[in-house]
Structure formats: C-alpha cells, structure tokens
Chains A and B, each alone.
Chain A
Amino acid sequence: MNVRSQVAMMFHLDKCIGCHTCSIACKNIWTDRKGTDYMWWNNVETKPGTGFPTKWEDQEKFKGGWEKPDGQLVQLKSTSKLKVIGNIFHHPHMPSMDDYYEPWTYDYQNLFNAPEGADQPTARPISMITGEHIAVEAGPNWDDDLGGSPVYAQNDPNLDGLTEEQKLQLFSVEQLVFFYFPRICNHCLNPSCVASCPSGALYKRGEDGIVLVDQKRCRAWRSCVAACPYKKVYFNWFTGKSEKCILCFPRLETGQAPACFHSCVGRIRYLGNMLYDADRIEEVANLPDEELIEGQRSLILDPNDPHVIDAAMKNGIPEAVIESAQESPVYKYVIDWKLALPPHIEYRTFPMLFYVPPMAPVIARRRESGALDAVNDELFHDIEDSRVPLQFLANLFGAGQQGHLVYALRKQKAVRWYRRALTVGDVSLEMAEQMLAEADCTPEEADAIYKLTSLCTFEERFVIPPMQREQALASLSDPHEAKASAGFGFLSGPKRGS
C-alpha cells in the first residue's frame, strides 16, 4: 500500500444556480493576461449542451483520455509514446481557436471619440489577438441556458444512446429542462495530460495531488491539450506554453479555499483531502467500464482505519494531514453516502472532482381523462420519470451505467421527503422512513446529509489540509540559510521567446 493524500473536490449540482461567479473569480485572478484571454480554467456549462470548447466530450474527434482495447492494457486513446513523438510537428487532434472562440473586447473609445454624425456611435467588437474588428461568432457560455438549442444542446455527445422519444421529450418546448455543469481541472489520479507530455513538464504534486505545468519545461508540443479528455489544459498562444487550473495552490498553501470555491454563491463546492492507494491505480485503470466507479472508490482509503493510518505515517504523510482527511466532506459524499460520482469515468483518468447529480423536474403525464398528473403510487417513480432522461445523466456520470446514478438520486429524494415529513408534515413520517430504508439510508445518515448539504458552514465545506511547505523546506535546508540566499526568486518575468 502506497498511501498518498489528494485534495479532492465535490460539486453539488442540485445547488448550482448557474451564476458564473466562480468563472469570474478565477478569470480575474489567473487568466486576464495576454495569451490567456480565451481560457476559462473554471467554466459553467448548460447541459444538455456542447460545452467549452465545443463538443469537448466527443472523444472520436479529440481522442482525449485513455482507452482499454479488448485484451490489452490501458493506453492513451489512439496514441502511443511513439505516436506522440511522430505527431510533434502537427498534432492531429488538437483543438484550434475556432473550437474555443476568438477573444474580443469592445472599441469603447469610439463612444467618446466618434465625430459628430447622424447616428449614435457604437462600440464595435475588436479581436483581442489582432486588434481588428471581428464578427463575434462564438464565446464562452454561448449556449447558456439552452440558447441556440438546435445548434448546441442537440449536439451534446451525451445524447448518444438515448431513444428518439427521449430526445424529443428533452427538447419539446413545454418539457424543456436543463441543469448546470461547472467544471475545473479534475486533478486526476491517472492524468492523461501528464502521461502525454513529451517534455515531462506536467506533473502531479506528491503531497496534495495538484496537477501543474512546469512553465520552464513546457516546449509547446501541445500533446496535453489534446490528451486531456476534459479539455482543461489550454495553450497560451502568446507565451507558447500550456496553462491549466492550479487549484489556487498559493491560496491553499495559506489555508484559503480556491477562488472559485470561495466565491460560490450557491455554496455548491466542497473541498477536502482524501487518502488513496497509488500502487493500485494501474490495476484499477484496467477494469471494464462498468466496474470503474467501484474501482475508483476502492482506491480511496478509509482515513480512520488504523492500518491505513500506519501506512500513511510510514509514507511520510503528516498527522495533521491524516486528521484533515478524517474530516473531509468530500469523503462523506463519495464514500460514506455514495452520493457523488465522477464525471465521465470511462475516460479512465480517475477525476478527483465528484458531482452530486441534479434532481430534475418530473414529467407530468396526461391521464386518459385529459388531466395532468404528476403523482404516482410508486415512491421513486419520478426519478425514472425525470425530465432529464436517466440515460443522459448516466452517460455523464456513470459511463452509461444507471446503477450508481439511480442510487444517488434515490437517496437524495429520500432525504428530501424525510425532511419534508419532519418540517412541513404533509408527508407521513412512516412513508418517509420507508423511502429511506429503500434508498439504503438511515434517519441519522439523512440528518447528516441534510446538514452538510443545506446548513453547511464555510469551515465544513472547505477542510483544507495543512500544506506544510515550510516543514518540507526545512527538511531540505536550513530555513535561515535559505532565506538569506533565496533573493527575490526569478529575476526575469515570463516573456515570450523569439
């Protein structure tokens, strides 16, 4: 057992209101520089929708992530180490700026400087790359709230495998439904971006699992951009370096939540570290699709198990980090309650950002008499009758398998009805308890889920492990000496080569 600690995340989609505050917080801190203008390390997508960059989930096009051909070991999708080298001059699966959008601003000065004329002056869009006037054709969140559904939402790759009837139902005007899908880098356990980097510039930090790009070693070979199935590595067109979400590690190291977590209005984001067994990643990555969710859960170790604690201590994990793992809210949602699921586990990167799937409105059925009826005798009927077809959610959160997804939705629903019986009282407690039992939940667990979901404080949502970078430094050299000889760090700022 090779125990490591990973800063893991959970987004509660049932609470996301799609306000994009997270995206703005991130943008303002990290990607307002030239060359990063088109990047959104954090973005919020409307589902169904094609996302950002357009159709990032279409791995037939972008060939991201891993695949396991029959009888073979897992490998980077449609590539090999030799192919990565062969593709170094031109990457065949690299998205171009057209797949994102050409960043633009507006010619605001014209509002002040335009000569007097018959018409009101306007602020025309100008490209942030060339400075020329452009016709804006796409942008971040171009399909927000199902805008342009026939062009965007209906091309969502997750609609594959749905029947025509289900698709019609999803897009018929009166039944229209959508939910939000906020995304950042998943800081995966088996990152395909790291595995694909010819320069070895991308790496996973051993202490906390944050995946970073070494800016000094990146040579712009672009493999990572194509290899990340979530398209969360971006290419800085100005500096010629790849950049990605850094999980605000300078904030984490000083005990603050990442900016997107901190600013989340809907309080949907949870962060806490989990212990995992690094030795078993390869074995689990080779499991068949339908066993991947269970497999990833089995990688995550119980931080209260004395054997695990022993092994963790032997591996040099500080006690405070283990204690922090014991408090992790993410562990509760993912392992204890099994409410949170990884996105697209079939890419086999083992994302460490988990999602509680959203509850959707229920389809009203027209009775033979003509009356609308949304009530059914079966307790969990409306999960199957959800306006978002289960298969759609299963494609997103279950590698096409509905089992774990239905479990999570049933438990959420049971907790809701249990709380409704307790607080509103229009549902009998007996029935609510029966629902809990059928959803594999106890009243105590339901209370805990309710509290951490609805009444959670800042400190309960963000259990940030002590990063202890100072101790790590002290183990290497005398801090006083290091302080006296370190100077101001890099003397030259990052500037584009020639």
Chain B
Amino acid sequence: MTEIYANVTAWLSNLQPVFFVALPYVALFTFFLVTVLRYRTQTFTYSSLSSQLLENKNHFWTMVPFHYGILFVLLGHIVAFLIPRGILAWNAHPIRLYVLEITALAAGLLTIVGMIGIIVRRMSNSKVRLVTSRIDTLLYFLLLTQLVSGVAVAIFHPWGSSWFATSMTPYLWSLVKFQPDTSWIIGLPWLVKWHIINAFLLILIFPFTRLVHILVVPNPYLWRKTQVVRWYGRE
C-alpha cells in the first residue's frame, strides 16, 4: 500500500512542471482569449442565467450564502496575492491571526453550505434541472472540489494566510513575470497542490461557463444617471 502511494506520489512529482507551469499558462491563455472572443462574437450569451423565476423558495438560502461567502474568500486570496507584507504584518499578532483564520474558515464553510444547496436545488427541482447544462455540471463539480479542498487545507494545514503570503504569492508572481519558479510550492502538501491544480482548471473552463457573469458585474450603475435615454446616432 505504502509502495503504491510512493509510486503515485513520485509519478505526480514528475508531472509537476505540467501542473504548475504548463497548466497555468494554458489556463490563463485560454481564459483571456476566449472571454474576449466570446464577448465580441457571442455577447448575447453573457448572462448570469438566473433561475429565480423557476424556483424562488430555496433560491435565497443557496445563492446568498454561496455568493457572499465566495466573495469574502476570493477577496482574501487576492489581498494575499497583492499585499503579502500587509497580511504578514496583520498576522504578527496571534489574536489577529486567529480572527482572520476563523473568519476565513467560516466564510469557506458558508460557501460550501451554499454550494451544496445550489447542487441539491439544481438536482431536485425538475424545472431548474432542465436549464442545467453539461458544462454547468462540470462547473459545479469543480467548484465543489475547490471548496472542499480549500476548507480541508484551512483545517489540516492552518495559518494559510501566512504561508500563502510566503510561498503562493511568490510562485504566482513568478508566473506573472513569465519566470515560472515552482520551487516556492514544491514542498507544499498534496492537498494544497490539489487545490492549486483545481483552481487552474476552473480558470481554464471559466470562459466556457456561466462564470463569465463575474466579468460583467454592474459597477457603473452606482454612478450613472437614473434614467437611460438612447438616441439613434447620438452618444
């Protein structure tokens, strides 16, 4: 048994350049190319494809926890990516570290609860099931995998807010600078690596799914005029 595990790990380790160098670039390239192409040629398909009209009873208890949870969690990842020193400074005080970790874990759990709710709602309501495509199913599988692995990382490999800033952030920046350096993450546990690989898979399928609605989030609404009038030939 241990032999098999060792073999698999060795095999996976050999594939690490594929997972952590090739996959990220393929995913990001596809993401940028397809989102732009899809926006330019298939604008009509950019929609959140809401199913609230078809099922309005469980909609609240699934959509709201999922979205607010994932917004918080994603924001945490982005902050740690952009200002790692800030996170480390915050975490210098144990109390603040605990507060951050517990809040993040709670948000992660909230997101999982919402996601499971979303999947159950999709499967149990015949009308909503009908507007669920195959790519939706794949998306929900990957999302749930991502959330479960993420929460598992938070539980089994705690203080992620700190080690993310010292290992993940340099690795991600090395990708951004086109000087991929996997040495930052090569020593991380496989649970974490699974989370990273799955994240790149999500980025890869992003432009083919309903996730594109994130890109058209309506921020100009807050500062536009109340009424919209369009003239033929005037702007």
Contact = CB atoms under 8 A, between A and B. Distances in A.
Interface of A: 81-82, 84-85, 88-92, 94-98, 129-130, 132, 190-191, 194-195, 197-200, 202-207, 215-222, 225, 235, 237-241, 469, 472-473, 475-476, 492, 494-498
B226 to A, nearest CB: 5
Contacts of A206: 229-232, 234
B230 A204 contact: yes
Contacts of A95: 53
A199 B221 contact: yes
A103 to B, nearest CB: 11
Contacts of B210: 497-498
B166 to A, nearest CB: 34
Contact of B231 (A198, A207, A473, A495): A207
Given A219-B216, A494-B44, A498-B210, A240 B230 contact: no
Contacts of B221: 81, 84-85, 197-200
A93 to B, nearest CB: 11
Contacts of A89: 63-64, 66-68
B54 A132 contact: no
B130 A205 contact: no
B228 A222 contact: no
Contact of B52 (A195, A222, A473, A497): A222
B47 A240 contact: yes
Given A85-B222, A89-B63, A203-B228, A215 B44 contact: yes
Given A85-B222, A472-B233, A204 B228 contact: yes
A94 B53 CA distance: 8
B216 A130 contact: no
Interface in B42-79: 42-57, 59-60, 63-64, 66-68
B92 interface: no
18 contacts: A81-B221, A82-B222, A94-B52, A98-B56, A129-B130, A197-B221, A198-B221, A206-B229, A206-B231, A222-B50, A222-B53, A225-B53, A237-B54, A240-B47, A495-B44, A497-B45, A498-B45, A498-B208
Contact of B53 (A132, A237, A494): A237
Interface residues of B, number: 51
Interface string B130-172: 1101011000000000000000000000000000000000000
Contacts of B232: 205-207, 469, 472-473
B233 A200 contact: no
Contacts of B136: 498
B213 interface: yes
A90 B60 contact: yes
Contacts of B187: none
B227 A200 contact: no
A203 to B, nearest CB: 4
Contacts of A198: 218, 221
Nearest to A494: B44
B224 interface: yes
Contacts of B44: 215-216, 239, 241, 492, 494-495, 497
B42 A200 contact: no
A183 B234 CA distance: 32
Contacts of A240: 47-50
Nearest to A497: B45
Given A97-B127, A206-B229, 11 more contacts: A85-B218, A89-B63, A94-B56, A97-B54, A130-B126, A205-B232, A219-B48, A222-B52, A492-B42, A497-B44, A497-B47
Contacts of B43: 216-217
Nearest to B223: A81
Given A85-B218, A96-B55, A219-B48, A238 B230 contact: no
Contacts of A81: 221-222
Q: 10 tightest A-B contacts by CB?
A: A497-B45, A96-B56, A198-B218, A206-B231, A240-B47, A240-B49, A472-B232, A203-B228, A89-B67, A198-B221
Given A96-B56, A219-B47, A497 B42 contact: yes
B215 to A, nearest CB: 10
A235 B130 contact: no
B53 A235 contact: yes
A212 to B, nearest CB: 8
